[in-house]
Amino acid sequence: MPSKISTIFYIHDSNERLMQEYTVKEIMAVSRLDPNDATKIIYLKIKAFIPSDKNIETQIEDFERRM
């Protein structure tokens, strides 16, 4: 079930598995529901399937790791 979500969140954990036709990225993210209340947060479990064929256009961008 494809969907489009626009939000700002922090990546808590991520891993990826290489398959024959695509890469599966599993991401655990944290997002604030209220900018004024730090206790109102939501955890998002995201799974993205990215085609291995670079000729297939996607809107999924790689992200950098910052510490």
Q: What is the pLDDT of residues 33-47, one digit of tens each?
A: 887 888 888 888 989
Q: Which of 32, 33, 34, 27 is nearest to 12 (CA)?
A: 27
Q: Which tens digits make up the pLDDT trace of 4-41?
A: 655 667 788 889 999 989 889 898 988 888 878 888 88
Q: pTM (2 decimals)?
A: 0.59
Dihedral pair phi/psi, residue 22, rounded to 5°: -160, 170
Spans of all domains in the chain: 10-51
